[in-house]
Structure 1
Amino acid sequence: VLMYTDKIEIVSPGGLPLGVSKEEYLKGYVSVLRNPTLGNVFFRLKYVEIFGTGVRRILEAYRNADVKPNFAISDNAVMVTLPSVEYQIPLDVDEQAVLEVFAANLVLASSDVSAITGFSRAKTIRLLNSLVEKNKLVKGGKGRGTKYSLT
């Protein structure tokens, strides 16, 4: 467990338990207690009321928040990033202008954002990457198929 000013990262080595798909995990359908000691500590501290509801409860806690949790799942680890709903990473004027383009929950390519904002291609990509790093946007696809959307 790593704690920062703007987020908490929880890393579980070993990936998902056998037989649990990424989709099932992200929807909170299946749960296997991987670390009984840590689970017991959280239970005793009353941070959890019941085992096996963590993902669903995380998603519910962030349902109306501007920031959303991130679940990075690989074969070797699961990392959950819980951004602070109180701490807001400051955005500069250009980042705010780019973010406003996505206000209608659009999914756009960098060329679309560049055309709307009037920024150069290089500046637009730099701003989009900065917003992805700050968990304001999600990047999907690769190469010419790369699209961006709100988190």
Structure 2
Amino acid sequence: MDLIKTKYLIYSISYEGVSRRETPQFPIEALRESLMNCIAHKSYEDATPTQISVYPDHVVFWNAGRLPEDWTTQKLFEKHPSRPYNPSIANALFRCGDIESWGRGYKRILEAVGSYNLLPPVVQVLSGLMITYYTDVHSQLVSQNLDKRFMPVIEYVAKNGAVTNSDVQRLLNTSKATAYWILSQLDNWLEIQGTTGKGTHYTLKGFTKDSLKRELF
């Protein structure tokens, strides 16, 4: 972590009064959780080392780990039981204070990226487990080939936590009916909260700041 923080990350500089503040381009707590996951869940019979790749707009962690057979990558971001691939290593990390508790790592990751108004990282199974963090929402949406017409909607949700039909009308200068159609096209990204009326809004699937707060606290 010291090597990543001192050699590979870029920091933005700001000031609070006379105090200098340095903010890293990626949420440090999320990167730390991914590094701990690489250690605890690596398949050590595979001699391939853990790989960390840092780019201008994203950072990638990969290790030769495997998910339980009945799990999908989406399940990692949902409430799930702890099933560490290497229980003895996970227990050692827990006892020495490097991980807070088993099974909460991805919730902590979501909390960290949420504090940066970012989307959840991209998790893929590619001859191992790979997780990618992006410095900004737009870069991530481009990498995931989202239609450019819909990007302002997802960017708005990431920043504000939710979006309504009225918000979409204002953002894209469109009609109420077209706004509903746009929201329906984003059903892989958004889920509806409420049923009908003014209280209806849309949040990122599996990642709402309010629901995350209830899970954690």
Between Structure 1 and Structure 2, the one with more helix by share is 2
**TM-score, scaled relative to structure 1:** 0.49
**More relative contact order in 1 or in 2 (CA 8 Å, sep 6+)?**
1
**TM-score, scaled relative to structure 2:** 0.37
